[in-house]
Amino acid sequence: MEIRKAIYLKYARMMLNNKRVLVAGVTNVVTINTEEYDLKLPDDSITFVLLVNVLHEIDDRKRFIGEIKRIFKPDGRLAVVEWKKENIEIGPSAGHQSDLMKRSD
């Protein structure tokens, strides 16, 4: 799959930055300041979404996933990387981590 443009969505609560992208000299990344339930992208505009350690921060996962579905093209795909729900030395406490085994349909 050819990546023509990557869109880097960030919102204040996640405290993300794109310094690595800038340092690496990557030129096909667009940064958009967004909100949890308003991704500021048009309907049917995205083919792939990668969520990395995001879901444990989202209060209303069903609403959040609905917003992702809204921006997906018909063949859109979602990949999720999330903390395993256990106490570890780094990352959020187990009580703050997502229980991805619970479905939010």
Gap between the Cα atoms of 18 and 54, Å rounded: 16
Complete domains list, the chain, with CATH? 6-81 (3.40.50.150)
Phi and psi, residue 64, nearest 5°: -65, -45
Q: What is the pLDDT of residues 25-38, one digit of tens each?
A: 777 777 787 888 99
CA distance 64 to 56: 12
Q: In the structure, what pLDDT confidence band is assigned to residue 93 with cuts at 50, 70 and 90?
A: low
73 C-beta neighbours (distance < 10 Å), count: 12
Kindly state the average pLDDT of the residues 55-83: 90
pLDDT, mean over the chain: 75
Percentage, residues of the chain above pLDDT 70: 61
Mean pLDDT, residues 75-85 taken together: 84
Dihedral pair phi/psi, residue 86, rounded to 5°:
-160, 160
Least confident interval from 11-15, 74-78, 84-88: 11-15
What is the pLDDT at residue 14?
A: 47
